[in-house]
Amino acid sequence: MKVMKDVYEQCPILEDKGYLLRLVEIEDAKDLLKVYSDEKAVSYFNSDNCNDNFYYQTLDRIQEAIQFWIWSYQCKAFVRWSIIDKSTNEAIGTIELFHRDSKDYFNACALLRLDLRSDYENDNCIESIVSILLSNTYDLFHCNWIATKAAPFAKERIQALELMGFHPSEEKVIGHDGTEYGDYWVCTRDCRN
């Protein structure tokens, strides 16, 4: 049995033949500006319960965001990995995960947020990227299920989630201020068996 270290003590580097996931770095700013200034991409991002829409148009603003993500990792709030396309050695997005404790249906799950440049928003890329993390998430984030958002217009994202064993949930995520957020898809530890 593989023993996982605490994700907040040592963030794992995970990869397959096409993509590498590693903790976000300030040096990723130039590449990630292409992601977060991509108007087509922003509509796919999950900004539920955040005070931000993640649309950044300047290098300074993406650097501030990255500094916040690094600080949040150090505070053990969430992990934000940069997604590196090995064929270009570019950061083409980020993926965030955290263990969510709440009083709603989505208690004790890992919440996954995937932000991709729009030219990577297709079922093959999404399935490859999310699959890298999927088997490790349950142990890294001490949970038995994962939730992620996919709006109805995100056809290719939904197709990829279905292929990985996710199914839609009618339940709502309840935000800090009581706001309800829908369009969540869930996968349990045994969903891929």
Separation CA 62–CA 56 (nearest Å)? 6
Tens of pLDDT along 53-106?
899 999 999 999 999 999 999 999 999 999 999 999 999 999 999 999 999 999
Phi, psi of 17 (to 5 degrees): -70, -25
Q: Which residues of 163-192 are buried (b: 16+ CB within 10 A; e: fewer)?
A: ebbbeeeeebbbeeeeeebebbbbbbeeee
Tens of pLDDT along 23-59?
999 999 999 999 999 999 999 999 898 878 899 999 9
pTM of the model: 0.94
User: 162: phi > 0 → left, psi -120 to 50 → alpha, else beta; which?
Assistant: alpha
Separation CA 163–CA 147 (nearest Å)? 15
The pLDDT assigned to 164 comes to 95
> Is 2's pLDDT higher than 80?
no
Phi, psi of 43 (to 5 degrees): -65, -20
